[in-house]
Amino acid sequence: MALFTRAPKAEPILGQNRVIAHVLALLTWLIGLLFFFPLFWLVLNGFKDELDANSSPKLFFDPTLDRFSEVTEDTTGLLSFTEAFGNSFWIVLISTILVMALAIPAAYALAIRPMRKWRDVLFFFISTKFLPIVGAIMPLWIIARDLDLLNTRAVLIILYTAMNLPLAVWMLRSFFAEVPNELIEAAQIDGCSLMGQIRQVILPIVAPGLAATALLCVIFAWNEYFLAVQLNPVEGSTMPVWVASQESGRGNFLAKLSAASVLATLPVVIAGWVAQKRMIRGLAMGAIK
């Protein structure tokens, strides 16, 4: 069987020659494997015992699940796996819901019933993304401290919402802009209330876009470390802080650290795999149109 079949749509940029095609396919595979190799290695190390991990690189060994049970059951540190996972879960979930709840109406207004200065508003949202978080971290820390919010989930929920909101508004606006105006007018004439229009007509159309946007928010929130470690260094903190805490002062626990890393990374990676096609479409639509 030929390794390559003709692309049905656009012709590939690099031409049609069969030999070249095979070589390129091989090359793409190699690069793909190379990019993935560090992660493969991480997973591998997670299944090693410390002796195997802390020696020169080894491909063959007796796999064991012990490291995974060790890290999940370990409660000696300030932050246990279950606590961190629970914190991350709730913080990411609630902040993403909040982002969507705030961004959907805003994007709707900017796209479907644009007011005259909508572009300025959109630019404002994007521009807040350009304000490096260091520009606000000190006052945030002081405010959080004074409000007794340090080491709480609440402070991260609020900040992650603010962190993801601009991107979400921006992407969602473009998804909403794809909805033909006629459709909304037809719904109005058919006697649909505003909520009805949104629920029954608009949301089914923009659903893939919403999913892509929410996923991107989840990825950024789940992986965020700077704010978490600055504002929530101890009990209230999240998976990245937990992973980092596994490292400090435990140089010889490479396998254990690998297992911890795998656990921390897995949820988002799987979600990303499942939704990759949508994300590509979402970025294309969301970004350019």
Partner 1 sequence: MAEVRYEAASRIYPGTEIPAVNALDLDIADGELLVLVGPSGSGKSTALRMLAGLETVNKGSIFINDVDVTLKPPQDRDIAMVFQNYALYPSMTVAENMGFALKQAGVSKEQRRAQVVEAARILDLEPYLDRKPKNLSGGQRQRVAMGRAIVRSPQVFLMDEPLSNLDAKLRVQTRTELADLQARLGVTMVYVTHDQVEAMTMGHRVAVLKDGLLQQVDTPRELYRRPANLFVAGFIGSPAMNLITVPVVDGAAQLGGLSVPLPDDVRAEVARRGLDEIIFGARPEHLALADVGASGEVAVVEELGSEAYIHVRVVHGQETEDVVVRVGGETAVKRGDQVSFGIAGATHFFDPGGDRLDGE
Partner 2 sequence: MSSAITEHRDETEHADHADEVRRLERREGWNRRLPILPALIFTIVVTQIPFLFTLFYSLTDWRIDTPEPREFIGFENYGALPDDKFFRDAAWVSVQMTVLAVLLSLIVGTALAILLDRKFFGQGFVRTLLITPFLVMPVVAGFLWKSQMFSATFGVLNWVLELFGFESIEFATKYPLASVVVVLVWQWSPFMMLIVLAGLQGQDTSVLEAARVDGATTVGIFRQITFPQLRPYLELGTLLGAIYLIQVYDHIDVITGGSPDSKNLPFYIAQRSIGGGNRFGLASSYSIVVVIASIIIANIGLRVLSGLLEDDS
- Which tokens hold the place of 201? 């007509």
Closest distance between partner 1 and the C-beta of residue 171, in Å? 20
Closest distance between partner 1 and the C-beta of residue 277, in Å? 19
Size of the site for partner 2 (CB under 8 A): 110
Closest distance between partner 1 and the C-beta of residue 91, in Å? 33
* Binding piece for partner 2, criterion CB under 8 A, among 9-17, 67-75, 89-97, 179-187: 9-17
Sequence length of the chain is: 289
* Binding piece for partner 2, criterion CB under 8 A, among 62-70, 136-144, 184-192, 203-211: 136-144
Q: Taking CB within 5 to 8 Å according to partner kind, which of partner 1, partner 2, none is near residue 93?
A: none
Question: CA-CA distance, 7 to 16, in Å (whole number)?
Answer: 10
Q: Which of 79, 82, 55, 53 is nearest to 66 (CA)?
A: 53
**Residue 45 contacts residue 258 (beta carbons within 8 Å):** yes
Tell me: does residue 136 bind partner 2 (CB under 8 A). yes
Closest distance between partner 1 and the C-beta of residue 84, in Å? 40
Tell me: does residue 113 bind partner 1 (CB under 8 A). no
Q: Which residues of 212-247 are buried (b: 16+ CB within 10 A; e: fewer)?
A: bbbbbbbbbbbbbeebbeebbbeebbbbbbbbbbbe
Among 43, 97, 162, 205, binds partner 1 (CB under 8 A): 205
Which of positions 179-198 make contact with partner 1 (CB under 8 A)? 180, 182-183, 185-192, 196
Q: Taking CB within 5 to 8 Å according to partner kind, which of partner 2, partner 1, none is near residue 240?
A: partner 2
**Residue 228 contacts residue 241 (beta carbons within 8 Å):** yes
Cα radius of gyration (the chain): 24
Residues 6+ apart with CB under 8 A from 272: 215, 219, 279
Which of positions 200-259 make contact with partner 2 (CB under 8 A)? 219, 222-223, 225-226, 229-230, 239-240, 243-244, 247, 254, 257-258
